[in-house]
Chains A and B, each alone.
Chain A
């Protein structure tokens, strides 16, 4: 039962262009969403988050958009840089659920081409 889905296992984008990573969720109780970035042989690193009371959060080159009615969020990276090549995990949780941990998607491998 995949409550958080990232349907694109990989994405290739040219350097300097915009990267858009998508994430869908099925649990309507989720009210906080995060994106993590992971390099090989390392643990996930927090990137950006958004609360369900917002529809957009921006941090430098990274912007996360949330569409609650569609249960969809996306991560935009612009401009894309070679160092952005990594696996990106979407994660979600329900704040009223205590310390239940995060529910992760399977990840999308972003490849930035020079």
Chain B
């Protein structure tokens, strides 16, 4: 049973396209996150979201937008993809929003923009 799942696992697309990455967690957690792992291997927070609050890392371009149809899903939509968006994107979830709870990560989505 996969706790945090992401689709697709790999995504290759052209510059300028719009794409979405889906994330689902079956842990009943309240908070979900998106992280980006860049070419230098840094894992950086992009968004955190629970039912009440969306926190956006100020460095994230507004071409990136999280969309949550329900508590178990937090999808990442990217408009007008750029070469620099190529990275691995990880979704994560935790029980509460205090960050004291362990975050559980998905397997990652490898995005390549050509």
Contacts and interface: CB of A to CB of B under 8 A. Distances in A.
B3 to A, nearest CB: 10
A102 B102 contact: no
A60 interface: no
A48 B44 CA distance: 20
Size bracket, chain A contacts: 20 to 34
Interface string B76-114: 000000000000001010000111101111111000000
Contacts of A46: 102-104
7 contacts: A44-B43, A46-B103, A98-B55, A99-B55, A100-B48, A102-B99, A104-B35
B99 A97 contact: yes
A83 interface: no
Contact of B48 (A43, A49, A101): A101
Size bracket, chain B contacts: 20 to 34
Contacts of A32: 99-100
A9 to B, nearest CB: 9
Interface in B25-84: 31, 33, 35, 40-45, 48-50, 53, 55, 57
A100 B98 contact: no
